[in-house]
Structure 1
Amino acid sequence: MSTQTPTQNLEAVDVDHSPTRVSSLAAVAAALIAALTSAPFAVLAVPLGFGGLAILASGLFGEPSRARVTLGAAGLFLSVLVAGGFGTPAEVLLISMIGTLLAWDLGQHAIGLGEQVGSHSKTQRNEIVHASLSAMVAAISAAIGYLVFATAGGGRPVSALILLLVAVVFFAWALRT
């Protein structure tokens, strides 16, 4: 009769807590879209956009770092602002901004899943659902933002302000879920 308890028979399991692959790839793809849509319109946006892309990717595929993902997304955001300052069409800026938001959100999600369950767990379904819902929220927010832009151009600032507040409330609610 063995005197070992069940816990003595267990072997140590090494869990890889690096960011999950699907969300990491989707975040880098979204960042690439953001950089490509803002960079052609302003030379000053090129280093911000592609620098942000590189920093974001290093936070996902190098040493995992939420700070680098956020810093990379901030570079992409500055690229969008610079491109907007140089007269980039609003539609292009919205696409670039959607890419920036998705890059940040998906990058943070990849790191969070990696920390919680490990990168080798079966999380593809969760990642695809998260990415799809994030893209839907970003697209709806962009549509509301574009509606504000179009309304404000028509000389109706009160209605534009109301729509802007609705967009901000919707976006804040979406980030909390």
Structure 2
Amino acid sequence: MTNYFHYSEDATIKRFEPRLSPSFPDEPPMVWAIDETHRPLYYFPRQCPRIAYWKGGGTTEQDVEAFQLNTRMVIVIEADWFYRLEDVALYQYTFSAQSFSCFDENAGYYTSRSIVEPRRVDRLNSLTKMLLNEGVELRLVPTLHKVKEEVLGSTLNFSMIRLRNARN
């Protein structure tokens, strides 16, 4: 059975109602979820800016070498966020795939225009350990701006989340 996930620092959500997304202002209200492959993108405090990249079908070997991509995925965060990552507890909400459809296959986003109730909720601790167990390399940098430009100029598949919270 296929499941999709939502991550929150709030353990009390009983139902998810469709809402507008600031990242996709032209889209109708939706409930957002992530697939299993991409769920490590959300093993972070909600407001933590991050850039993830991984090898895709069009990724060149030159970019694999240049970005030292030796694991299935690299996620880069600003160093200031590391201790918050270590201290936060997240809650993984698991949804049945029934009402969801693919919004963005590269990022693993799935959406529903219906109210969704989670099938289960699990508390997650030790997020850095979870990242390692998922084959993710975590990298720390002072600011994400240089990484953003480098990744945008590459052939890598990527996801950039909450960059509006990145340091200037």
Higher relative contact order (CA 8 A, sep 6+): 2
Higher helix share: 1
Q: TM-score, normalised by structure 2?
A: 0.26
Query: Which structure is larger by alpha-carbon Rg, 1 or 2?
Result: 1
Higher strand share: 2
Q: TM-score, normalised by structure 1?
A: 0.25
